[in-house]
Structure formats: structure tokens, C-alpha cells
Amino acid sequence: MVKVTVCGAAGGIGQPLSLLLKLNPQVSELALFDIVNAKGVAADLSHINTPAIVTGYQPANKEDKTAIVESLKGTDLVIIPAGVPRKPGMTRADLFNINASIIRDLVANIARTAPNAAILIISNPVNSTVPIAAEVLKKLGVFNPKKLFGVTTLDSVRAETFLAGLINVSPTSLQGKISVIGGHSGDTIVPLINATPEIARKVATLSTDQYNKFINRVQYGGDEVVKAKNGVGSATLSMAYAGYRFAENVLNSLAGKETSGSIPDSSYVYLPGLPGGKELSTKYLNGVDFFSVPVVLEGGQIKSFVNPFELLKVTNDETKLVKVALDGLSKSIDQGVAFVTASK
């Protein structure tokens, strides 16, 4: 019996993500919250002949808090794709002004109504929205770093797809063989494609130009979609797939299944709250506390992480990418923390 709540369920990501969750037999209740059309999406999905009971919650007006509270009551897992997406010419950081307060307020409601739920944050800029969520949870005295996840799975999905084409293997075969660490925007995204010897041998056949173009494509894959959608939004379908892939990892862990893959999927997490995390941050990350690393899950939370610098092969080129990433990350983290500190 697992209850999942999606906040922002009527959006471009929210709808296909909710569809995928409705298909998962482990989900017994699927609560869809949005400020618009949540009831319509819930009615639609509720006709699908799978066990999950689907309910829709939308506030009657700006002051109405009943809908969000009802959607969160007794939930095990909250997934948040609420907020505005990019348009061409914008960076993810340009979304901060609108999405920061959406995340702050949603997470405050989670803290009060479902303090033990695992929280998956999709809304951008992830590099800042996850620190915002952590600060809100800390302020309200219920922060469990093992249950707060920034969803960076789309970067892995892209890396697997783009690299497969270059080294002539099936894209699905790369899941668990390469890894993406760092953050979720531009040069904070660091693909580790040499992580396993088997793939590193194939990667060695690529020219420097091919390697550089690959890295750039993963780091700026989001821009590719924003440009192609030409003002209508950013990645939604590939994101719904990626968000579901990570949510399924959490659901599987709740069902007692072990995390699969030789390298598990990464998530952007608060390292000092994890066993060995402070050491990783101090020794390899110049004290940066939020970072995406492969996470092993158990019972709906993080059991441990794979230290990329000690357990995977990280080349000199990849180490240089990490250094660049740290600079951008620390600024985005500071911005998120300062936003909550300045909030009442």
C-alpha cells in the first residue's frame, strides 16, 4: 500500500508522469495536486484498469489550503514537477524568481502534513530548488536528508542515449554502466562515461572532438528541446520517463527490492546528511554540500552512495569538469539558502 502525491500533476511533465505512476501496481493511491485541472486529469486516469485509486485536488481560491493538505495526508512519496518551464533564451536560473516560492510553499506543506514522505524535486533550477527544500525542512525541524532527492535522471537518460549512438551499443544497455554526477544545468552536469572498464574501452575509440561534442550535448540537452519546442516549453515526455525511472527506484526500495544496476541512478542530495557525505564534500568537492551522486536506496530512503572518486574510474578530463561544476553549484546553493533565510 503506497500513496504517491504529484504536485503540478496537470502540467506537461505532471500528466505523463502520473500516467506512468498509475500503471505501477505497487501504487495503491495516486493523489494529483495542481492549481488547475487536477480533477480533470484524475478523472481521466481513474478509468485505467490498474489498482491505484486516483484522486484530484485543486484549491478553490488562493487562500484555500485544504486541497494541498488532503493530497498529502498519509503520503509516502511526493513528486514535484510544479512551476514554470523555460522559453528559448532563458537559463534555468531565470526560473528562480517564480519557482523558488512555489517549492518553498509546497515543501512547507509537506513538512507539516507528511513529514516522513520521500520528496523528489523536478522543478528548476534543481541546483537551487533542492537547497530551498532542505532549508524549509530544517526550519520546520523535519529534515531527513536521506529522503530528499533532486531529480537529475534525465541527464543520465540523455547520456545513455547519446553515447550509445557513438559507440554503437543499445542505449538501454548503458543504464548502470555510466554515470552522471554534479548538478542539473549546463556545465554543472558531469557525465562519467569511463566509469566502468567495459565502456571506457569503447569510449577510448572516440576522437577528442566526438568526446567534447558528447559532453556538450548532455550538458545542454535541455536547450535542444527548449529550442525545438520554440516557446511552448521544455522537456516533458523524456522528463516524465526519467522522473518515473527514479520514482520506480524509490517504489522498488519501499517494496524491499534492492537497487539495480552496477552503478545506481544518481540524485542531487545533501551530502553532509549521508554516511560519509561530509568527507566526500570536504575531500573532493571543495566543501560543496549538494551534489548528484549514485544512490543506493532501501525502504524509500538513501542507504548509501557510490563515491565516484573512489569507486568509479574518473579521468583527468572528467576531474576538470567537476572543478568547473563546483563553481556554478556553490552559487546556486547559496542563492537557494539565502532565499529561505530571507523568507518569513
Positions marked active-site: 184
**Counting contacts by CB under 6 A, is residue 126 touching ligand NAD?**
yes
Using the rule CB under 6 A, which residue among 183, 191, 222, 308 binds ligand LMR?
A: 222
In the bound state with ligand LMR, the residue whose beta carbon lies nearer, of 14 and 85, is: 85
Q: What residue 166 binds from ligand NAD, ligand LMR, none (CB within 5 to 8 A, per partner kind)?
A: none
**Counting contacts by CB under 6 A, is residue 234 touching ligand LMR?**
yes
Q: Which residues are paired to 192 by β-bridges?
A: 179
**Counting contacts by CB under 6 A, is residue 36 touching ligand NAD?**
yes
* 97 vs 94: CA distance, rounded Å: 7
From the list 7-15, 44-52, 156-164, 254-262, the region that binds ligand NAD by CB under 6 A is 7-15
**Counting contacts by CB under 6 A, is residue 12 touching ligand NAD?**
yes
Site string for ligand NAD, 78-117 (x = CB under 6 A): ---xxxxxx--------x---x--x---x-----------
The DSSP code sequence of 82-133 is -SPPP-TT--GGGGHHHHHHHHHHHHHHHHHH-TTSEEEE-SS-HHHHHHHH
**Counting contacts by CB under 6 A, is residue 71 touching ligand NAD?**
no
Q: What residue 300 binds from ligand NAD, ligand LMR, none (CB within 5 to 8 A, per partner kind)?
A: none
Contacts of 47 (CB under 8 A, 6+ apart): none
Half-sphere exposure of 306 (CA within 13 A, CB side): 26
Phi, psi of 154 (to 5 degrees): -60, -30
Q: What residue 308 binds from ligand NAD, ligand LMR, none (CB within 5 to 8 A, per partner kind)?
A: none
**Counting contacts by CB under 6 A, is residue 226 touching ligand LMR?**
yes
Strands (E), the chain: 2-7, 27-33, 53-57, 77-80, 118-121, 148-150, 179-182, 189-192, 266-270, 290-298, 301-305
Q: What residue 226 binds from ligand LMR, ligand NAD, none (CB within 5 to 8 A, per partner kind)?
A: ligand LMR
